[in-house]
Amino acid sequence: MKRREFIQNTALASSATMLLGLGACSPSKKGLDSIGIQLFSLPKMLENDLPGTLNMLSQMGYKEIEIYGPYPFSSVAAHERWKAVTPSLGFTGSGFYGHSAKEFQGLLQDNGLKATSGHIDLVSLQTKMPEVGEAVRTLGLDCMGISAIPGELRTSLDDYKRMADTLNAIGENAKNEGFRFIYHNHGYGLHEMDGQIPLNIILDNTDPELVFFEMDIYWTTAGGADPAEYLQKYKDRYIAMHLKDMKEITTFKGDGGTADQWIELFPLMTSVGKGAMDIPAIVDAAQKSGVKHFFVEQDVVENPRVALKESIDYLKSV
């Protein structure tokens, strides 16, 4: 596959997870002792050989995984959107890759892996919470949530305020089902809108006991924000993190709210430790802030065997 085509497909894949809602470790002196992987980093390998790929991840040293939807119980709308984009993505696998939640859990256990987090679409959380809760308990997830707010629901400050109320309601239902609801922020919401930062509206107007956050350090940086500063300001709000690196620090030309802006920055994505981001400082701030789950996420990376090994080897040394 030509590099240009690969970058375009990768960007499309990442955009698809945002639309579809496709997210414990403790610090040690030698680095993180429980490093996870977001499975959207290597979907084709998982689809072609699920047991073998899980074994490969285990051999690399990964201990946790974060899954992505749609799942068998996901909303009809989520399945329809997924079906529409999979021809361009070049794969169809998601959720439990053709297995039941119990079977999938068994495969993870056989390879010394534990699912601790997952991404799912907003509609499923609003309409399928009992089914979500059952799957979460079967897998033993700590948290599950949305990877992004749909674009049509974040066009104004009032939209963000309404979304904060929506997230509070979902968080309360999630708590009743026994898991923590997380909101993964993409690169949007970090530029001023009518004098306010939209992401801050979400953070300031959601209940800390009901709504938790997952930081993607790449897109936070692309949005012009400092990951460490957000972690310090909102201590105990972030419980999960996506780790990847940027070849050279670059920000969106606009507000980060559209796919063309993400596509432009995909060529700068690289393995953790091979770029310009201050990973040790971010990880240190994350540990002090209360982050429990650290997931390497290199969206549909071209050579997972090499790239994902590079990332975890670096993180073991941080």
* Alpha carbon distance 214, 146 (integer Å): 10
Strands 245-246 and 31-32: unpaired
Q: How far is CA 29 from CA 8, 32, 315, in A?
A: 40, 8, 12
Q: Is 4 exposed, middle or buried (0-12, 13-18, 19+ CB in 10 A)?
A: exposed
* Alpha carbon distance 97, 35 (integer Å): 22
Tokens (6 digits) for 260: 């063309």
CATH of the domain at 102: 3.20.20.150
Please state, rounded to an integer, the average pLDDT across all residues of the chain: 91
232: which residues sit within 8 A by CB, 6+ positions away? Answer: 285, 288, 289
User: What's the pTM?
Assistant: 0.90
Count the Cβ atoms, other than its own, within 10 Å of residue 115.
25
Closest CA to 212 of 20, 14, 22, 23: 23
Mean per-residue pLDDT, 17-45: 69
pLDDT at 16 over 70: no
User: What is the span of the domain harbouring residue 228?
Assistant: 3-317
What's the pLDDT score for residue 139? 98
For the chain, how far is it from start to end, CA to CA, in angstroms? Answer: 34
Q: How confident is the model at residue 61 (pLDDT cuts 50, 70, 90)?
A: very high
Q: How confident is the model at residue 5 (pLDDT cuts 50, 70, 90)?
A: low
Q: How confident is the model at residue 80 (pLDDT cuts 50, 70, 90)?
A: very high
Least confident of 47-56, 85-94, 150-159, 196-205: 85-94
Instruction: Check residues 302 and 82 and name the one with the higher pLDDT.
Output: 82
What's the pLDDT score for residue 14? 53
Q: How confident is the model at residue 3 (pLDDT cuts 50, 70, 90)?
A: very low
Q: Quote the longest CA-to-CA distance of the chain.
A: 52
Q: Is 73 exposed, middle or buried (0-12, 13-18, 19+ CB in 10 A)?
A: middle
- Count of structural domains within the chain: 1
Q: How far is CA 173 from CA 11, 78, 209, 247, in A?
A: 32, 20, 12, 40
Closest CA to 202 of 148, 127, 126: 148
Residue 304, SS3 per DSSP: helix
Q: What is the tens place of the pLDDT at every residue in 247-282?
A: 999 999 999 998 889 889 989 999 999 999 999 999
Mean per-residue pLDDT, 125-134: 98
* Alpha carbon distance 68, 73 (integer Å): 13
Helical packing angle, 129-139 and 157-177, nearest 10°: 60
What's the pLDDT score for residue 33? 82
Q: How confident is the model at residue 24 (pLDDT cuts 50, 70, 90)?
A: very low
* Alpha carbon distance 188, 198 (integer Å): 8
Mean per-residue pLDDT, 89-94: 92
Q: How far is CA 46 from CA 8, 51, 111, in A?
A: 21, 8, 14
Instruction: Check residues 14 and 199 and name the one with the higher pLDDT.
Output: 199
